[in-house]
């Protein structure tokens, strides 16, 4: 018997994850506010220091933080060298990528990345900077990591230009949007984004959150963070209904989209409801050639974290059977506080083939990684 | 049950905690206002290093709008998902029927007792003059 003394515990063990996994939602952070400056023209340094970022939404610094834990992150994820959680590649490797056997990690930068800003020139400049920063600091230093093309979401033409600039660059595997925008995501102002993404062969990820200037629930601003958390599903339902009914998938038959961090248990009922009203109201949207549920099933992928956790696991499996085991992408949300531990997240009773699809091969196939 | 000497009392002043691995089990020992507690350092929910979390109080409400905040510093909050555990018993406040974390009895023993007793302290030099924090495993 030995008594070992350590100042801190080792990172939590994940020894039961033996096979490689894809993590489709990792959040890299900037260690300091000026970390993007080398990638931004000098005029924007002065602009940021003088005017700051002007978002569509007031209190931009308010809603995201604090959320249960500092920076909405795991308390054990502060890098030892300092800086915000998620800002250290070496610590991310040691705490997450290596022990969890992450073969593919998709980066989704959040915060002041240019999305949701009223100054569209600044929005485009920040988006370009964050994309260059992802290559310089992350993907060029660890081949497991892949970047998202962050775009000036409210300026469709600028967003499309950024996507075309990155097309064919294998550092990037998807275009990143957020779920809260000025208008529902199927609206015409966003169409150039889908056109460029389809041409580039990149799926479009829609991550929960964002700064659209509207209340974060459909009936106004809630009192509690817990309401905001469950509100993400209604926001993504609105986005999906808009994408389908505006004909985005009819126009772009090869376009794939990924709903990130808003759950998926509600997907079947949304589809049933859409199909039911479509029977009666299809005259309003004659550009749709198929039932809404068919577009959703063919075009939409879903990341886990959060995964619904019903008392009876067969209820969860029923939902997944409806969605398709080939449409789920595993995600941890590292380093955020609601992180899902890979070895604990999937209930028992899943076939080996479905398990492998869930943890790895669906993502490799969708992102075109061999 | 084996007793393990953790540290001299002077090295674990009130408000501090110490992480150890004993018999391959991750353990954390807390000194809360002079009382010592031991918990398994693994959250039963998804396996986080539970004892890295903050010590908070217990917010309870008998009626909406009436909130009582008691037991300051006796509730351990998981660093990942915020599940709350009673430092005295390991009981979860999130799902008490299904989840609890292992709590271990911790005592302070005089050096004279530690030197003579059936304790294990291979990496710790003990002397008769001091008091020691001891955990039963």
User: Predicted ipTM?
Assistant: 0.77
> Residue A58 corresponds to which tokens in the numbers above?
């007031």
Give the model's pLDDT for residue B111.
86
Q: Which of B2, B26, B52 sits opposite A76 (nearest CB)?
A: B52
Please give the distance of CA A246 from its chain centroid, rounded to a whole number: 22
CA dihedral sign of residues A175, A180, A183, A187? positive
Q: Cα separation of B38 and B136, whole Å? A: 9
Residue A272 has pLDDT above 90, yes or no: yes
What DSSP letter does each residue of A145-201 carry, written as one string? EEEEEE--TT-HHHHHHHHHHHTT-TTEEEEEEES--SS-TTSGGGHHHHHHHHHHT
- The per-residue pLDDT for A18 is 73
pLDDT for the residue A8: 47
Cβ contact, residue pair B122, A4, below 8 Å: no
Q: What is the pLDDT of residue B77?
A: 94
Residue of B16, B79, B123 to mutate, interface with A, max A Cβ within 10 Å: B79
For the cut 90, the answer to whether the pLDDT of residue B31 exceeds it is: yes
Judged against a pLDDT cut of 70, whether residue B87 lies above it is answered with yes
CA-based nearest residue to A189, from A157, A213, A235, A215: A157
What's the rounded mean pLDDT across residues A67-86?
Answer: 90
Q: Do A341 and B48 touch (CB under 8 A)?
A: yes
Contact across the interface for B19 and A9, Cβ inside 8 Å: yes
The number of residues in chain B equals: 137
Taking the Cβ of residue A345 and every Cβ of chain B, the question of whether any pair is shorter than 8 Å is answered with: yes
In contact, A126 and A114? CB cutoff 8 Å:
yes
Q: Do B80 and A9 touch (CB under 8 A)?
A: no
Average pLDDT over residues A2-23: 57
State the average pLDDT for chain A. 92
B16 — contact with chain A (CB < 8 Å)?
Answer: no
Q: Which pairs from B126-133 meet CB under 8 Å and 24+ separation? A: B126/B5, B130/B8, B130/B9, B130/B10, B131/B8, B131/B9, B132/B5, B132/B6, B132/B7, B132/B8, B132/B9, B132/B108, B133/B5, B133/B6, B133/B7, B133/B8, B133/B9, B133/B12, B133/B29, B133/B31, B133/B36, B133/B106, B133/B107, B133/B108
Q: Is B42 on the interface with A (CB under 8 A)?
A: yes
Q: Does A14 contact B at CB distance below 8 Å?
A: yes
Please report the pLDDT score of residue B122 as a whole number.
60
Q: Which of B25-34, B72-81, B110-119 has the lowest mean pLDDT?
A: B110-119
Mean of the pLDDT values across residues B89-104?
Answer: 87
Token duo for residue B115: 């030197």
Residue of A nearest to B43 (CA): A12
B135, B102 contact by CB (below 8 A): no
C-alpha distance from residue A352 to each of A24, A114, A328, B95, B127 (Å): 20, 41, 15, 30, 57
How much is the average pLDDT of A78-85?
94
- According to the model, what pLDDT value does residue A148 have? 98
- Check the CA dihedral A140-A166-A127-A259 and report its sign: negative
pLDDT tens sequence across A19-74 = 899 999 999 999 887 899 999 999 999 999 999 888 888 766 655 556 778 888 99
| Of the candidates A197, A182, A288, A294, the residue with the CA atom closest to the CA atom of residue A235 | A182
Q: Higher-confidence residue: A326 or B126?
A: A326
Give percent above pLDDT 70 in chain A. 93
User: Is any Cβ of chain A less than 8 angstroms from the Cβ of B19?
Assistant: yes
Q: What is the spatial distance between Cα A45 and Cα A155, in angstroms, rounded to a whole number?
A: 22
């Amino acid at each position: 018997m030995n008594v070992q003394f350590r100042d801190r515990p080792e990172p939590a063990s994940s020894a039961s994850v033996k096979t490689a996994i894809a993590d489709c939602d990792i959040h890299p952070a900037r260690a300091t506010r000026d970390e993007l400056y080398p990638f931004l023209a000098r005029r924007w340094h002065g602009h940021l220091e003088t005017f700051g970022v002007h978002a569509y939404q007031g209190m931009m610094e308010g809603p995201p933080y604090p959320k249960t834990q500092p920076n909405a992150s795991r308390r054990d994820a502060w890098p030892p060298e300092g800086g915000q959680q998620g800002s250290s590649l070496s610590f991310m490797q040691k705490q997450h990528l290596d022990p969890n056997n992450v073969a593919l990690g998709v980066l989704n930068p959040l915060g002041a990345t240019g999305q949701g800003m009223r100054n569209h020139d600044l929005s485009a400049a920040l988006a370009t900077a964050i994309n260059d920063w992802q290559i310089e600091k992350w993907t060029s230093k660890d081949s497991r990591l892949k970047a998202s093309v962050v775009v000036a979401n409210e300026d469709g033409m600028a967003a499309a230009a950024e996507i075309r600039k990155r097309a064919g660059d294998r550092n990037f595997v998807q275009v990143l949007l957020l779920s809260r925008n000025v208008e529902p995501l199927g609206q015409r102002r966003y169409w150039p984004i889908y056109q460029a993404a389809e041409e580039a062969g990149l799926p479009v990820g829609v991550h929960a959150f964002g700064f659209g200037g509207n209340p974060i629930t459909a009936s106004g601003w809630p009192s509690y963070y817990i309401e905001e958390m469950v509100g993400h599903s209604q926001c993504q339902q609105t986005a999906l209904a808009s994408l389908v009914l505006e004909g985005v998938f009819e126009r772009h038959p090869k376009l794939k989209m990924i709903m990130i961090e808003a759950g998926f248990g509600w997907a079947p009922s949304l589809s049933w409801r859409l199909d039911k009203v479509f029977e009666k109201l299809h005259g309003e949207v004659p550009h749709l050639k198929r039932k809404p549920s068919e577009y959703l099933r063919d075009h939409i992928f879903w990341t886990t974290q959060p995964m619904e956790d019903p008392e009876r696991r067969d209820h969860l499996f029923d939902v997944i059977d409806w969605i398709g085991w080939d449409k789920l992408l595993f995600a941890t949300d590292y380093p955020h506080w609601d992180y899902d531990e890979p070895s604990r997240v999937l209930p028992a009773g899943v076939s080996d083939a479905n398990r492998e699809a869930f943890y790895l091969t669906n993502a490799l196939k969708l992102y075109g990684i061999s | 049950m084996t007793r393990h000497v953790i540290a001299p009392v002077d090295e674990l002043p009130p408000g501090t905690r110490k992480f150890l691995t004993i018999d391959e089990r991750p353990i954390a020992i807390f000194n809360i206002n002079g009382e010592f507690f031991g918990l398994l350092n693994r959250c039963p929910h998804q396996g986080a290093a539970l004892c890295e979390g903050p010590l908070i109080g217990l917010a309870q409400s008998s009626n909406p709008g009436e909130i009582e905040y008691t037991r300051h510093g006796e509730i351990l909050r998981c660093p990942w998902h915020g599940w709350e555990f009673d430092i005295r018993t390991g009981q979860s406040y999130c799902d008490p029927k299904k989840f609890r974390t292992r709590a271990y009895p911790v005592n302070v023993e005089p050096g004279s007792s530690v030197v003579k007793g059936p304790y294990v302290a291979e990496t710790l030099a003990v002397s008769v003059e001091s008091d020691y924090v001891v955990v039963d495993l």
